[in-house]
């Protein structure tokens, strides 16, 4: 089996919209957005700037890397014959996935302090997430149509929407289920809509790409063993498109004015950029001469 590992990239990967305007299928793209970058801007415009314009480095976190390793195991699990997709088999794939990740990023063990003594308990938390997965569904009876599927579409305004879908299930009647794994816990009451936005975004992109509205959007929370499902309709996805376009207009306004205001919230406790944030007495670096936001 060929092993490939993709680390989380908070600052975004190189983009076809890194230039002022890049032709895609003959259309000049005005910009690009992924669900993560939309979430960044809505949470804090300055955070969006730090990640997509300044590309400030962020140290990896055990939680984020747990998600990467667990996603890798679940992706590779479906390469096996159906009968072999068992909890024991998934557990046996965990340490090799972690070792492969360390080959790509050998400094990851620094997350666990001197000597990496906390790795054992961290690996146990990865195993617990995989155990929760098997409580939610039995992969022996599933044959996903796609895994880690890159999707993209252009809106009528030339905005490129894109991202990676963890899993796409297609039934015999052609109905589509979009599945996303989360290694953390399900959101508290009142936060479900925010959690589902990512899937509505993907539902919109798949609809535009394939001409079929997904029947179900499903988030699997492996930290708490819960499933959050939603069945979208055309109005839902059109509303999502309007929201994304509105966010892009706000980003363009901030770009043109240079006004990337911080928005203080409880999320600041996990931000890696407090040292350069005015809310914490810091000073942001000078803006690059040519500002071209891309996801």
The residue whose two tokens read 């798949």 is 206
158-183 residue pLDDT tens: 999 999 999 999 999 999 999 999 99
Q: How far apart are CA 221 and CA 241, in angstroms?
A: 25
Judged against a pLDDT cut of 80, whether residue 54 lies above it is answered with yes
Q: Would you list the domain boundaries of the chain? A: 62-141, 143-245
CB 101 within 8 A of CB 64: no
Residue 232: band (very low, low, confident or very high) from pLDDT cuts 50, 70, 90: very high
What's the mean pLDDT in 41-47? 97
Judged against a pLDDT cut of 90, whether residue 294 lies above it is answered with no
CB 147 within 8 A of CB 137: no
Runs of H (alpha helix) within 32-86: 35-43, 45-52, 62-77
118-159 residue pLDDT tens: 899 999 999 999 999 999 999 999 999 999 999 999 999 999
Would you give the DSSP letter of residue 280? Answer: G
- At 6 the pLDDT is 38
Number of CB atoms found within 10 A of residue 38's CB: 23
Q: How far apart are the first and last CA of the chain?
A: 31
Q: How far apart are CA 241 and CA 247, in angstroms?
A: 10
CB 185 within 8 A of CB 221: yes
CB 151 within 8 A of CB 21: no
The domain made up of 143-245 has a fold known as Lambda Exonuclease; Chain A (3.90.320)
Q: How far apart are CA 157 and CA 143, in angstroms?
A: 36
SS3 170: strand
């Amino acid at each position: 089996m060929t092993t490939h590992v993709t680390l989380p990239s908070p600052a975004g990967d190189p983009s076809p919209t890194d230039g002022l305007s890049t032709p895609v299928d003959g259309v000049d793209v005005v910009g690009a957005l992924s669900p993560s970058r939309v979430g960044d801007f809505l949470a804090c415009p300055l955070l969006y700037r730090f990640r997509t314009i300044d590309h400030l480095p962020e140290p990896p976190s055990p939680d984020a890397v747990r998600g990467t390793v667990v996603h890798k195991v679940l992706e590779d699990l479906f390469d096996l014959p159906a009968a072999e997709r068992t909890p024991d088999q998934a557990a046996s794939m965990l340490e090799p996935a972690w070792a492969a990740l360390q080959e790509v990023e050998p400094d990851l063990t620094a997350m666990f302090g001197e000597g990496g003594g906390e790795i054992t308990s961290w690996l146990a938390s990865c195993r617990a997430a995989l155990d929760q997965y098997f409580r939610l569904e039995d992969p022996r009876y599933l044959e996903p149509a796609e895994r880690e599927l890159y999707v993209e579409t252009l809106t009528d305004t030339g905005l490129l929407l894109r991202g990676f879908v963890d899993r796409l299930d297609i039934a015999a009647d052609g109905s589509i289920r979009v599945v996303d794994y989360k290694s953390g816990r399900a959101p508290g009451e009142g936060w479900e809509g925010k959690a589902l936005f990512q899937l509505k975004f993907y539902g919109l992109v798949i609809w535009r790409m394939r001409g079929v509205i997904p029947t179900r959007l499903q988030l699997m929370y492996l930290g708490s063993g819960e499933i959050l499902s939603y069945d979208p309709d055309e109005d839902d996805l059109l509303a999502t498109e309007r929201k994304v376009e509105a966010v892009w207009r706000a980003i363009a306004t901030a770009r043109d004015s240079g006004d990337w205001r911080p928005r203080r919230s409880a999320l600041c406790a996990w931000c890696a950029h407090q040292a350069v944030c005015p809310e914490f007495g810091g000073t942001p670096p000078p803006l690059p001469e040519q500002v071209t936001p891309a996801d």
